[in-house]
Every structure is written in C-alpha cells, then in structure tokens.
Amino acid sequence: MRMYFRDVLEKAGFIVEEAANGVEGLEKMLAGRFDLIVVDINMPKMNGYEFVSQLRKDPSSLSIPVMTVSTEDQERDKVRAYEAGANFYMVKPVRPDELEQAARLFTGRSS
Amino acid sequence: MALVKATNKSANAQARAVQQSRPSLSDLAVLLRSNEPALRRQAARDLALMSEGVPVLCEHLEHEPAVSVRSVIMTSLIQSRSRAVVEGLIRYLRSENTALRNEAIEALQDMPAEIAPYMERLLSDPESDVRIFAVNILSVLPAARAPEWLHKVILEDPHVNVCAAAVDCLAEVGTPDSIAALKQLRLRFGDHPFMIFAIDAAIKRIGGSQ
Amino acid sequence: MKAARPTALSQEAPSLTLQEFAKFCEFFYRKTGIIFSENKRYFVERRVLERMESSQCSSFREYFAMVRFETAGHEMQRLVNAMTVNETYFFREDYQFDALVSGMLPDLAEKKRPGDTIRIWSLPCSTGEEPYSIAIYILEGWDRADDFNIEIRASDIDSRVLGEAHEGIYGERALSRIPPEIRKRYFSPVAGNSFQILEELRESIDFSTVNVVDAAHMQNYSSIDILFCRNLLIYFDDLARRQAMETMYECLAPGGFICLGHSESMSRMSSLYRPRRIGDAIVYQKP
C-alpha cells in the first residue's frame, strides 16, 4: 500500500518518505520537516489514531495536515480519526485522483 | 564531587514481596485489577507461568487501559505459546479496539506454529476485516502453505480490500506459481487502479513479466 | 539429521553435531536472549569445546547437563563470558553524550531539587569505556553536576569484562578519540603503553553483572533516570527484544530516557516509549 501511495504522490510532484509504523513516523517527524502526512489506521506498534494524537501533542506539529486511510467505512471511525486530530479520512481502496486531489488541497499546491 | 557511588540496589519491594510469597491464582487475579500498573504487570508475569492463568490474562486484555500492561501480558503469553493462548487472542481480531487488535495480530505473528492450524478458518471468516487481518498475520509468518492460502484468497475472495492485502502479502512470500493467480485477479478488479499497481508490483517482485 | 562422525582413532578435531549445536543455541537463547545463526557455528563450537575441555567434560552431553543443573551458575557465567564479544572505545557515538549534558540532564534537573539523586545506567558496559565516558562528559560538560548526587551504574552479562572495567586500564586504540587535555586530566600512564583512569572515577562507578531478559533479576534496579543500552539488542530476536524493553521499562523512573545505538530504532521493538530529539540524537522517553 505504501508503494502505491508513494507512486501516486511522486507522480504528482511530491517528495515522499515512508515509515513502517507510528513509532517510526514520530521518529521521522523529529528528523525532518513535512507538509503532509498520510497515515494508515492499522499499523503495528502504534496505530494511526495513536500516532495522530501524539503528533498533536507536539506544538511544532499541531497544524501539519494529516490524511488518514482505513478499510473501515463507519461513521464512528471517521469521528475517532477527527477527534485524534486528523484533517481527512479516506477509505480503501483509494483512487489515485482522490489521493492526489486531497494532497494538493491540503498542501495548497495546485496542479 | 558530583559522582556518587550507588551502594544499595533499590528494590521494587512490593513486587518482590509478591513474588517471594508465591501468590495463588485468585491473589494474582485480584492484583491484576490493582490501580497500580506496575502491580498489574507483575501479576501478569506471574499469571502467565500458570496454565490456569492464560485464560485470565486473555480475558483481562479487553479491560486493560495501560499499553505497558498489555505489552507485558502479550509478551508473557507469547512466551507461554500454546493453543490456549492462540484461542484466547484470536477473538481480538474482531475487536473495535484498534490498539488491542493490532497487538493481538503482532502476538499471533510471533507464534507461527500455534496459529497455523487456524489460518484457513480465519481466511474464510464471514467478516472481511477479519480476513484482512488474517492475511496480515500471514505476511510475516514463516508458513510453508502461505502462498497456497493466498492464491485461494485472490482467486475466490469477493472483497477488494481482502484481495489487495493478499496481493501485498504475495509480493513478499509469493512464488512463480503465484503469477497466474495474480494475472487472473486483474480481470476481476481491473477497474481499481490500486489493484493493478499492486498486482504489477507483486509480479515484478516475484520475478515474472507483467 | 546426524552427520557421519569420524571414529575416536581419527586425527580430526572434535566438533559438535548439528543437533548439539541447535540444542546449545536454543538453550543459550532462552537464558540470555542472544541468538546465534548458522553462520556463527564455528564461533560457537570453538568456545563450547574450549569450555568442555576446561571443565574436563568428555562429551557435549556431559557438559550440557553440568551447565544446566549447576545451581551456583559459575560455569554458565564462564560460558556467557566466552560467547559475548566486546569491542568499544571512549567517546563512541559521542553525539549522545552531548545530548546527555545539553538536553537530558538539564531536562531532569528541572524536575529535581538540588541534592537529589540522578541515576544513570550503562548496559552493557563492556570494559568500561562507556560509563567512564559518561562520567567524564558530565564532569567536563555539565555545569550543574555538583548540585546533584549522580550515580553511575555499569553492568554487563559478562563478568570478566567487568573486572577489566573496574581496573580501568586502556590502550591507545580505546583512547584515540579523547582530546589530549582530557586524557591528561583523567588518565595516568601505566606499564605496557597503557593508561589507567583516575581511581576517583573507578571508585565512583558501581559495576555489576546483569542479564537484561531476566525480569526477576532486573527488578533489583529501579528509579533509573537515563539508561544507555547501545548495540546490545541487535543481537536479540523479536521476543527477547520485547522482554528487554519491558524489563527496562520497570527499571526506569517516569520521564526516564533510553539511548540506543546509532543504527538502532525503537520502532521495530516497542511502542512503550516516546521518541524525542535532543541535539543530533533521537532518544526514547518513558511517559
């Protein structure tokens, strides 16, 4: 799934870095600057909800846009994601145009 | 001088007292409900050493709010590794608690021999999410039959996300025999760009031509 | 599958069978968390055979039984000593020591009162370069060192290297990264082109034998503020790493830090700790 997202976003002109789980995601956040985060809810070690919550505890990453991705298409899962601090919630399978449009919207980058 | 030699090893007195007095199953079950996470962790370690402790621990997971305690419970259960442990954890594949569910998946992944007899049943579970998690378990399981099971999924499973998870998994564990099944999957879900991408990537990884 | 063995009359050196090797590795892993893969067979075999000879055991079976059932555990200790490799030098990965004095200690000092104890643990400490480096960095680089009682503990599973650490004698190679003025201040030349670290430092560090996957044993240590656990867990498998992360969690005070080796990451091991950046170092904090 990560490879697919990387492919779509790189073709849209973004520079992409990957992390295998929420802990690695937090480590990468400490080491670099990012304009957008796309995170799967179901990750080992630290899931997407927990990752976003932790992210929002840090003043320096309060306003980075976060798009969450999941297989779960229920209202309560969306609410959970938004309560944790996500800006957007996508349900798999994600279409490339959907992903690209959302990425452009949240980073303020037009086509 | 700022540096001072440490003379006494500070002891976690309460926990050691519990250990030395060899508490009973019921004592430990009470401790498992303590307000103090450190005591709950110690109770978990002791309970995992008793065969009757395994179902107690598996039940308790659902109510345990502290990740540090759940972590110790899981590690202790993995160490015990038995059918009872697997049966106690499998139920959490259906849990709404994302953290607990993922922790259960990780623990099951660490017990390949014990989870293997359950894989076929999980891969044909009525819930698509459970089938996805079963595929996720397979992705790191050193199971000789993994490719065979995954072929069946991509040939028969009606749900696009289950098949997508299986394709990702085959990219890791697939064999040249997987290629025919992957090409067939393209026919079923050809209108999903993600699926086409994933299938092509998996075939490339396995070493075939698309 | 048992390999064909030459008879006792043959000139070939004794060796372990595949089964014996496997049995040994399984036992050793269970006891210490350390894994030996197939490509370490020669390494393991040689050392086991040396131990067999030293203990005057005529067969692996006899030796194995002895190690497993000896209550005092002396032979087990000698065996562990033989199996663990220790290579280190002063100021190794020093960006972490910079983070220690510029970030972690000031952070802790804010939450403590003058006169309080700050506990630092080096594990594994090997022949002492790491704990002594920590001591030197604190004395040279932290202006509030005198406000607190700083306890430095140093532990290793290998008791033999602890003896060397306590002695504190080092060669040129171990000292190569130390600036000359620091070397002059803390080391005095001894015989054999070596240098011995100041007695004051040798006496200020508490050295002990520790097995990090032994939860009962690790319970002896608590309220640790900073734990250096560098380049140890790479030798462990997933389960042993989980166990180590959990035993260390018990030892740490809330807000305590763990520093791993340069190429290690908590992301493959545990979600119990929060990564934090201090200077150039990523360290991990117990909530």
Model confidence at B15, in pLDDT bands (50, 70, 90)?
very low
What is the mean predicted confidence (pLDDT) over B83-106? 94
Nearest to A23 among C275, C276, C277 (CB): C275
Residues B54, B87: contact at Cβ < 8 Å? no
Spell out the domain ranges in chain C.
18-83, 95-285
> Using CA atoms, how far apart are residues B25 and B56, in angstroms rounded to an integer?
9
Residues B3, C135: contact at Cβ < 8 Å? yes
Q: What percent of chain C has pLDDT over 70?
A: 93
Residues A71, B161: contact at Cβ < 8 Å? yes
In 3D space, the residue among B140, B101, C284 whose CA is nearest the CA of residue A43 turns out to be B101
Residue C20 or residue C247, greater confidence: C247
Return the pLDDT at C4. Answer: 38
**A71, A74, A91, A95, best to mutate vs chain B, most B CBs in 10 Å:** A71
Q: Residue B116 pLDDT > 60, yes or no?
A: yes
In 3D space, the residue among B26, B31, B28, B97 whose CA is nearest the CA of residue B61 turns out to be B97
Amino acid in position C273: Y
Return the pLDDT at B209. Answer: 57
Sign of the CA dihedral running C176, C179, C181, C183: negative
What is the mean predicted confidence (pLDDT) over B71-85? 94
A31 touches chain C (CB under 8 A): yes
**Strand, helix or coil for residue C128:** coil
What is the mean predicted confidence (pLDDT) over C250-270? 90
Residues C57, C66: contact at Cβ < 8 Å? yes
Q: Partners of C209 in the beta sheet?
A: C156
Lowest pLDDT segment from B9-13, B111-115, B166-170: B9-13
Mean pLDDT by groups of 10 residues along chain A of 111 residues: 91 93 93 94 92 93 94 82 95 93 92 66
Q: Is the peptide bond before C124 cis (omega within 30 degrees of 0)?
A: yes
**Strand, helix or coil for residue C37:** coil
Which chain C residues are closer than 8 Å to B2 by Cβ?
A: 138-139, 145-150
What is the mean predicted confidence (pLDDT) over B131-139? 91
Tell if the CB–CB gap between B194 and A94 is shorter than 8 Å. yes
> Using CA atoms, how far apart are residues B138 and C64, in angstroms rounded to an integer?
36
Return the pLDDT at B13. Answer: 47
Q: Partners of C258 in the beta sheet?
A: C227, C284
Model confidence at C285, in pLDDT bands (50, 70, 90)?
very high
Q: Residue C85 pLDDT > 80, yes or no?
A: no
- The domain C18-83: what is its CATH number? 1.10.155
Closest-CA residue of A relative to B104 is: A44
How is residue C235 annotated by DSSP?
A: G
Model confidence at C8, in pLDDT bands (50, 70, 90)?
very low
> Using CA atoms, how far apart are residues B190 and B88, in angstroms rounded to an integer?
39
Q: What is the pLDDT of residues C190-207, one digit of tens each?
A: 998 999 999 999 999 999
Q: Residue B181 pLDDT > 90, yes or no?
A: yes
Which chain A residues are closer than 8 Å to B201 by Cβ?
A: 3-4
Q: Residue C134 pLDDT > 90, yes or no?
A: yes
A10 touches chain C (CB under 8 A): no
Q: Other CB atoms closer than 10 Å to residue C189's CB: what's the count? A: 10
What is the mean predicted confidence (pLDDT) over C156-179? 94
> Using CA atoms, how far apart are residues B68 and C233, in angstroms rounded to an integer?
19
Model confidence at C156, in pLDDT bands (50, 70, 90)?
very high
What is the mean predicted confidence (pLDDT) over B90-119? 93
Nearest to C271 among A19, A20, A45 (CB): A45
Sign of the CA dihedral running C170, C171, C173, C177: positive
Tell if the CB–CB gap between B2 and C149 is shorter than 8 Å. yes
Mean pLDDT of the residues in chain C: 89
Return the pLDDT at C111. Answer: 95
Return the pLDDT at C38. Answer: 78
Mind telling me how many Å the CA of C225 is from chain B's nearest CA?
A: 13
Query: What is the architecture, at CATH level 2, of domain A2-105?
Result: 3-Layer(aba) Sandwich (3.40)
Q: Residue B174 pLDDT > 50, yes or no?
A: yes
Return the pLDDT at C13. Answer: 60
Tokens of B156: 């028969």
What is the mean predicted confidence (pLDDT) over B76-89? 94
What is the mean predicted confidence (pLDDT) over C19-28? 85
Return the pLDDT at B20. Answer: 58
Q: Residue B166 pLDDT > 90, yes or no?
A: yes
Return the pLDDT at C2. Answer: 36
CA angle B89, B90, B92 (to 5 degrees): 75
Q: Residue C37 pLDDT > 80, yes or no?
A: no
Provide DSSP, B122-143.
HHT-SSHHHHHHHHHHHTT---
Which chain C residues are closer than 8 Å to A21 by Cβ?
A: 267, 271
* Domain C95-285 class in CATH: alpha beta
Nearest to A93 among B98, B106, B160 (CB): B160
Return the pLDDT at B210. Answer: 52
Q: Count the alpha carbons within 13 Å of C202 in the hemisphere toward its beta carbon.
A: 18
Mind telling me how many Å the CA of C171 is from chain B's nearest CA?
A: 25
A94 touches chain C (CB under 8 A): no
Q: Residue B130 pLDDT > 50, yes or no?
A: yes
Residues C154, C201: contact at Cβ < 8 Å? no
Tell if the CB–CB gap between C219 and B5 is shorter than 8 Å. no
**Judging by beta carbons within 10 Å of its beta carbon (0-12, 13-18, 19+), is residue C109 exposed, middle or buried?**
middle
Tell if the CB–CB gap between A96 and B193 is shorter than 8 Å. yes
Domains of chain B in start order, with CATH, are 21-110 (1.25.10.10), 112-210 (1.25.40)
ipTM for the predicted complex comes to: 0.87
